[in-house]
Chain A
Amino acid sequence: MLFGGIDVGSLTAQAVVVENGKVTAYRSIGVKPNPVESAETVIGELLEEQGIRLKEIAFIVSTGYGREQVEEKGLSKANVSEISCHGIGAQWLMPGVRTIIDIGGQDAKVIRMDSSGELQDFVMNDKCAAGTGRFLEVMCRTLGVSLDELGPLSMKARNPVDISSRCSIFCETEVLHYMQRGADKADIAASVNRAMAERVAALARRVGVEPEVTMSGGVAKNSAVKAELERILGVRMLPTPTDPQIVGAIGAAILARKMGGGE
């Protein structure tokens, strides 16, 4: 039996299909103007690619922005919060995980799970862009580099500059000043990634960090942020055995399997 998960985020949307306890296919797209359209597109493209029809999927769970609307539209049969889906997805992929640091496009969450797979506690920042993917996006725009380049670029840093502000708007001014003074982009990139990690670490400390720890969400692909977080928190991050952006959608698909009687 096939089960599906759809996760619509602020910048990207993902769909996954699981069969016999394995992720058999997934797809990720940039979001459309509204969450229902994003969900329709991402699942549509996945089905087409795999040559399967929607009704062949026994049960779909939606999560993320507009997860209720996606269900109302009949695309999913149930909806579950992204906190639960990220926690469940991460534990299914890496059974020893207790703490999940999920950094999305517009928010950051730190989720703590117990050994039986229950959500223990979580903390979330969606009020301030600092410490979210949005911060990195703004800084990349100022630096004139792409998000994908930011991690590798900062690995070349020799003398990271000093970024003292917390506020994204003030950091942008600081970065601009360094650019005007001809500072090395790699040195600025390293400090941007460090500033990012410091904000996320402060959030994580509020809920407590219990090993094993892992990261999900798009920012988990930035190796420099990950390394800085490991350094600040004094932990090793378990590497996600798949694209860290699909962890939420995997959690949704795992819940779909449970709800749809697949186990």
Chain B
Amino acid sequence: MITLGCDIGSLFSKAVILDDDKLVASKVIETTGNIAQEVDDLIQALCEDANMDRGSLDGIVGTGSGGEFVTEADFLEDEIACIGWAARNYLPEVDLVVDIGGQSITSMLLDGEGDVVDFMRNDKCASGSGRFLDVMSSAVGIPIDKIDEIVPQSTKRVSISSQCGVFVESEVITHVNNGEKPEDIVAGLCDSVARIVTSQARRFGMGKRYTFTGGVAKVKSVVDLISERMDGDYQPFPQDSHLAAAIGAALLVEPE
């Protein structure tokens, strides 16, 4: 069965085509102004990449905060349910999923069937989110996708004491002015994200086996520091973690 999942997030729109649970094609674009047109173009471009006709798809499911813009969708599903479903499909033993998205952190407890039995979400405060890491590492002059290149060179982690992104930014600027090395500051920022994420996951009690999804889960420097603080076994999400909700959506298409 060929299915398409489309996750319209606050910062990025993601779409995937699956052949059963095998990833055929994927595309990520920034979510900007004209979302309806962007979604249409995204689906068109993805189908072209996969060398496929839009009409030959067996189904489309939309998700994410802008899910309603996926007008062609057979149905919409909550992104938490999609992420849970994707985790269950590839990692059936995982009972805790922590999604670190552009503007939110969500911890989800799964039962053995792939259903989310409980979740906790922070989308009120930017601390620890992708936006936070992006703004802070840019203040050091390091784009978010270069973090993993420079953090291994760090010899000491600078300490970041504030939680609020605005105050952390001032701390970072002070560190830059004091001549601290970018890699040491960014290592401190990764630690600060890990601290915030872990404190949410811990409030849930620890899972025996956990995984990370969302864009920030691609930053190994952050994932390693969270894993250091967590109990239980870390099982890496076997696909691009940024695509987890889109993949879950595509997996939820029901056969006719």
Contact = CB atoms under 8 A, between A and B. Distances in A.
A261 to B, nearest CB: 41
Interface string A166-181: 1111100100000011
A170 B162 CA distance: 17
B125 A166 contact: yes
A127 B124 CA distance: 14
Interface string B167-180: 10000000000000
B103 A129 contact: no
Given A127-B164, A129-B167, A135-B166, A169 B124 contact: no
Q: Among A128, A165, A167, A181, which residue has the most Cβ atoms of chain B within 10 A?
A: A167
A155 to B, nearest CB: 26
Nearest to A168: B166
B167 A169 contact: no
B215 interface: no
Contacts of B166: 129, 134-135, 138, 168-169
A167 B125 contact: yes
Interface string A95-131: 0000000000010000000000000000000011110
Contacts of B165: 129, 167-169
A165 to B, nearest CB: 8
Interface in B123-175: 124-126, 131-132, 135, 162-167
Interface residues of A, number: 17
Given A128-B125, A173-B131, A168 B164 contact: yes
Contact of B135 (A128, A130, A166, A169): A169
A106 B167 contact: yes
B163 A127 contact: yes
Nearest to A181: B33
Contacts of B124: 165-167
Q: Which size bracket describes the interface of B in this complex?
A: 10 to 19
A175 to B, nearest CB: 14
Given A169-B132, A169-B135, A173-B131, A129 B125 contact: no
Contacts of B163: 127-128
Contacts of A106: 167
Q: Among A106, A134, A138, A170, which residue has the most Cβ atoms of chain B within 10 A?
A: A170
Nearest to A137: B166
A68 to B, nearest CB: 19
A107 to B, nearest CB: 10
Contacts of A166: 124-125
A106 B103 CA distance: 23
A246 to B, nearest CB: 25
Interface string B204-237: 0000000000000000000000000000000000
A257 B71 CA distance: 72
A181 B165 CA distance: 25
A102 to B, nearest CB: 18
8 contacts: A128-B163, A129-B167, A130-B164, A134-B166, A135-B166, A169-B126, A173-B131, A181-B33
Cβ-closest 5 pairs across A and B:
A129-B166, A169-B126, A169-B165, A168-B166, A128-B164
